[in-house]
Structure 1
Amino acid sequence: MTADGFRRPDVVITGIGMVTPAGTDTATAWKATCAGQPAAAADPRLAGLGVDFSCAVTGFDPERVLGVDSRRMDPFTRFAVAAAREAVADAAPASGSWDAARVGVVMGTAVGGQGTWEEQAQRLRDRGPRAVNPLTVPKAIGNIAAASVTMDLGVHGPSFTLSTACAAGTTALGLALDLLRAGRCDVVLAGGTEAAVTPLVSTAFDRLRALSRRGDDPSAASRPFDEQRDGFVLGEGAAVLVLERADDARARGRRGYARVLGYGASSDAHHLTAPDADGHYARLAVRQALDDARGGASDVVLVNAHATGTPQGDAIEARLVERVFGPDTAVTSTKGVTGHMLGAAGAVEAAFTALSFDRGVIPPTANFHSAGAGGIDIVHGAPRHAPVPLAVSNSFGFGGHNAVVVLGSV
């Protein structure tokens, strides 16, 4: 019950769609992630740059999946629309069972249609104004992925785009939860999308010394929590989750993968790129999410960590996990397989966490060998088969954005 006496509705995830470096559909991505198969490899788009490898989406044919309309889309929109289609098909609404005016869309992204901006800037410089595509702005602006999902699916509820850097996908889930609890929507498609593996973005991250430079062995470059980590590997893709009230899902015969129990968010207010060294406000977001979920830290069995493979960030998060949850809670970071998908990362990781509930399997942290000093229970080497009644998924972004969701079994 809420403070004013109303029963707070349970919210469940009933559909999942993914386009990731680990696979262009949910089943393939889950299989590769559970196998701990890193996706990092040399990337022709980055040839000649200081870092010439990434975790790229491969085997995705936008015209086959989306038709000729995909030519008018930036890749970040293509990924979002494809993931949304799979998520809705997975949720399996009967024809006419959802009121289109009550279906919302919330998407997160860090940089939007970056590839389009770079391509068109090059055309302007090399060939002049008349070479610039007249659709450049509607193709590249950050809101267009969410807008395109509404158009593709014919839904008319509220649609939003959130940009909280690498926390954006998790922030989207938090807003979706609020929309459903408040009764403003009956269904929300929430997720994140990113297509930032571009020459400029890769070079800019490299200049920040944020990227791994293990170019002699890209598949071993993304090493969350490992003592030999030297930066993250840039990834791309999207995940979309269908959220709806549990009573509505049950009424149409759907159980769901997991419940979305709580959400917390905070701001470090500290630095453009570096997290607060003490992790105080990241812990605040975790505590808020647990309070919202009405759960205790001792009830949490799994933490899907933000851990990207950066020396500072992973160390801060490891201390946070040890302080809040203790040394025995299972911890995984699927970025060892997918790389860091920026604004899509939180949605992808929440999707993997939901699948852990459904399958009773925790994916391993690829490329983890030793943490050196310290002690948290990092799942590695092989997937761990265990029931997961309560889990936390963390996301932390440049500018000090912290976002955390708590998921529970159905």
Structure 2
Amino acid sequence: MNKLKQKIKFLLIPILAFAGSTSFFVPAESIQIRVFAHLKISELHTIINLGTYQLLGDGVMIAECRPLMDFKLRVKGDSVEVWKNDILMGVFRYIKFVSDNGSELKLRLTNPDRKVRTYQDDLSFSVSEGFLRVINDIVLDNYIAGVTEAEAGSRSTLEFYKVQAILARTFALAHSDKHALEGFNLCDQVHCQAYYGKPRDENIYRAMEGTRGKVVVDENLNLITAAFHSNSGGQTANSEDVWGSRTTYLKSIIDTFSVKMPNSHWERRMLKDDWLSYLKLKHNFPVDKVQEKEAALNFTQNSRKIFLECNNSRVPLKNIRLDLQLKSTFFSVSQINKDTVLFTGRGYGHGLGMCQEGAMRMVKLGYSYTDVLNFYYQNIQLIDLHKLSFFKDE
């Protein structure tokens, strides 16, 4: 138990805080997310969508903001110009919109031009490497709601939203220090979690209520790596086969729920000479030998393999997938004429953890969100962080 307490404390301290004088850990008020992290932004508009904000410039209030008020922010050297109705309000190193409870702000990027997004809670702006850096300081569950829609889509079922919300919360808590050296917790790109602001589907908020505070832990009560992918092709993968590290919960299983879904099968054609040249030049696979050439032109996977191999030569399938930009490593190769080979593939993604399309199928058949989690992740437990005392004396 002491080891558990130390592990969870290490993972959660960046975004958890005490509630009053109790000994229980509960999610803190906010987590900091860098938004539009992939863009070089030099100008944008902020429009108050709901509630009121205080606009701070270098820590000093410069405006009380009401609905529909529009401010233009623009890079000026290493600072931010703030304009309202074509009137320059000032130039500041740091701008922050501080919200009342339930306030929302729309962001409309004008350089580069992008569609309007709505963000809840606080937003701050500064200049980094010559461009605007935008941080959404947001209540944790508001962030999880946005991630749930970004990762699951806006037309999913309530039960699937519950699954995605729990995994999003688990990931956020386990990786809250991913960008700590840059001054925020996570970004809005897929290597953290996709996040596009406030969700549109009201079912997501119902899913949040039904799963509030719940996270997934392994048999040692450590937060899991909440991996998921689009489609398993009928079989998920082992973590050691994809990432090189073994876990007790990311284990290969037969997944019949995924096989008739949209991304369960794919095909790709390639010139035979290009395929053989790629294997020889990139991976030193001896295709000039009869057996090795035959193995390369007639490679079959009825169940997931790790390598294309023959005798003492082998090529990791994950490298082939990356190099050739294939949908998955779960593919077979056959020669369909003297010049062409056909890749017949199954699934979409790395194959670890939850198959999203399989999970969608499961909930449509009446399975619960707990059924889904226990099917795709082995030896796990669902824990409510609000009720678990990590520091209570034994």
Relative contact order, higher structure (CA 8 A, sep 6+): 1
Indicate whether the TM-score tops 0.5: no
User: Highest CA radius of gyration, 1 or 2?
Assistant: 2
TM-score bracket, shorter-length normalisation: under 0.3
TM-score scaled by length of structure 2: 0.23
Greater strand content: 2
